[in-house]
Amino acid sequence: EEEEEEEMGSSGKLYEAYNELHGLAQEFETPFDAPAVLVVGHQTDGKSALVEALMGFQFNHVGGGTKTRRPITLHMKYNPDCEVPLCRLVSDSDPTVVQVKSLQEIQAYIEAENMRLGNEPCQFSAKEIIIRIEYKYCPNLTIIDTPGLIAPAPGRKNRILQGQARAVDALVRAKMQFKEFIILCLEDCSDWSNATTRKVVMQIDPELSRTVIVSTKLDTKIPQFARSSDVEVFLRPPACTLDGCILGDSPFFTSVPSGRVGSGRDSVYKTNEEFKKAISLREVEDIASLEEKLGRSLSKEERNTIGVSSLRLFLEELLLKRYMDNVPLIIPLLEKEYRSTTRKLHEVNQEISNLDEVKLKEKGLAFNDAFLTKLSLLLKGTVVAPPDKFGETLQDERSNGGAFTGSDGLQLPCKMMPNAGMRLYGGAQYHRAMAEFRLVVGNTKCPPITREEIVNACGVEDIHDGTNYSRTACVIAVAKARDTFEPFLHQVMDGLCTYEFYILNLFLWSLVEHCKFSQRIFLLFPYMHYLIRTFGILFTSIPRLMFCCVPTSGISQGKRCKQLKDINVIKVEDFVYGLLKMESLLCNFDC
């Protein structure tokens, strides 16, 4: 007796562990195989009634129509000390939160969920209602009761019912996809050629290798048989009829009394014990009726397929075998998941420890310095990015960043550009863009200068009240050059930013470990974009090209150098402003 009690205790712990594993696998979508019995059948096939008979007590709303709109997962555990069912409802939002509920509260919750879903556009939900039950009549089973399949009539008048049928069909199919589930296929028919539910199940399990077939409402079918041969075929259908190798090698046959448990006038049974006795009595009556029809006694194999108790014993043994077979496979997966979770937790703690002001400032300054260093390398040229992915032909460049147009409003032909058909990026793309820029500038007419502009450009010197005509010419030249050529400059730099930001993206993720820090860095994109533009213009000959394209008649070489220096000083000031702005943002970075 002590060995038997110890074995029962170890089995109980095994069921508890698997029940918890099943709930976690459903909640967190983990790859653990937690075996369970999935009940599949059409409406009015007696699914919920059979589940209640297996449990030993009533709790659900049964009857015609759609009574189940969410799958109900029942983690049942045998507990001889529980005189009344002990039910715990697992929270939908947090699987670790469990509430003790009475049978009436469980039933009210299920009915409320069905009413809520019935008023929504999508009237069914795949999220399971998880209930843990301990009772002296409960087997050690995990059963999932699914919504009943619907077979609507054709025609436009039945479109609503047809839509519900498709929703239920998709939900049940998704549940049957789990290879670890044992499918309990319910059929309410007296002829095995009518494969109503099997037709749906065999689309997921063609060989019925993980399917148990159950013929419900046996007490209503026995009177339909006129000859003993019909009963023989019904109890032992030919293998060709079932089209597969089902679990148990034969269908099971059950009958469940239709009366409800309660204290009202409509209740047939006062207690669950009476309901349990009625189920056992119905099994005895079914066996007697079958033997009377057959004119002989049922064999042991035939008796083992009759009644709810036989089905419950078979499912319990089958599930225990699946549990034991899966233990060697699940333990390594659990250990792997534990190591992965521990590593991630350590990384999170490390990131949290780095989220202080001093370390963030250090990281921001390090990024600032590394950003400028990387930017310099980009300008010098690199072959890191694959040309077929990040390179652009001239036509691609024009499609993505826009095209230069001549003074006549027409685009310059691609054949006039060097390397127009090559996929270029970086410095090579820059040289091609500059060649196109020079052609556009060469065909651009000098902007007109009015006398008003000349007079307004003449000012008063700080050392005398005369006019510095050299400065006046320089001011006009710089202003006209900027108005004329600056849009072209921005277009050139916009076209070169794609590759630069690809490299910076790779570099950024390798530089900073905290992904939130990386995301906030990229919120500064407008400043980076401005910096790249300014930095690129600063180290190119574009300012000189701008200046050289301005009419300079009457200006000496020395004065032209002075004007060129003024242009570069303007660009340097812009560049320094961009650096200071970036550094200020990074130093005051707030995660």
| Residue 517: how many other CB atoms lie within 10 Å | 20
Tokens representing residue 519 in the block: 């995301």
- Tokens 């060129």, residue located: 564
Which of these, 389, 371, 400, lies nearest to 425 by C-alpha position? 389
pTM of the model: 0.56
**Exposure string for 296-305, b = 16+ CB within 10 A, e = fewer:** eebeeebebb
The residue type found at 585 is: L
Rounded to 5°, angle at Cα 100 from 99 and 101 = 110
Contact 55, 135 (CB under 8 A): yes
Which of these, 128, 115, 137, lies nearest to 174 by C-alpha position? 128
Measuring CA to CA, how many Å separate 343 from each of 335, 349, 352? 12, 10, 14
pLDDT of residue 260: 82
Q: What is the 3-state secondary structure (H, E, C) of 78-132?
A: ECCCCCCCEEEEECCCCCCCEEEECHHHHHHHHHHHHHHHHCCCCCCCCCCEEEE
- Tokens 């989220």, residue located: 355
Tokens representing residue 279 in the block: 């189920």
3-class SS of residue 37: strand
Give the integer Cα–Cα distance in Å for 207 and 90.
35
H/E segment holding residue 249: none
pLDDT of residue 519: 54
Residues sharing a CB contact under 8 Å with residue 349, sequence separation 6 or more, in sequence order: none
pLDDT of residue 81: 84
Domain boundaries, the chain: 2-340, 357-587
pLDDT of residue 566: 43
* Helix 357-380 vs helix 525-538: crossing angle, to nearest 10: 40
Give the integer Cα–Cα distance in Å for 253 and 243.
19
Please say whether the structural domain 2-340 has been given the CATH code 3.30.565.10: no
The one-digit pLDDT tens for each residue of the chain (591 residues) are 445 445 555 555 666 666 666 556 555 555 556 788 999 998 888 888 898 888 888 876 655 556 678 899 888 887 888 888 899 998 887 777 888 988 888 888 888 888 888 788 777 888 888 898 888 877 778 889 998 888 888 888 888 888 888 888 999 999 999 888 999 999 988 888 887 888 899 999 988 889 999 999 999 999 888 888 888 888 888 877 776 677 777 899 999 988 888 777 878 888 888 888 999 999 999 999 999 988 899 999 889 999 999 998 898 888 888 877 777 777 777 788 789 889 999 988 887 877 777 877 887 788 778 777 766 666 677 777 677 877 788 888 777 767 776 656 677 777 778 888 888 876 777 788 888 878 877 777 778 888 888 888 887 777 777 778 788 888 888 888 888 777 777 766 665 565 556 555 555 555 444 455 555 555 554 545 444 444 444 333 333 333 333 333 444 444 444 444 443 333 444 444 444 444 444 444 443
Give the integer Cα–Cα distance in Å for 66 and 442.
79
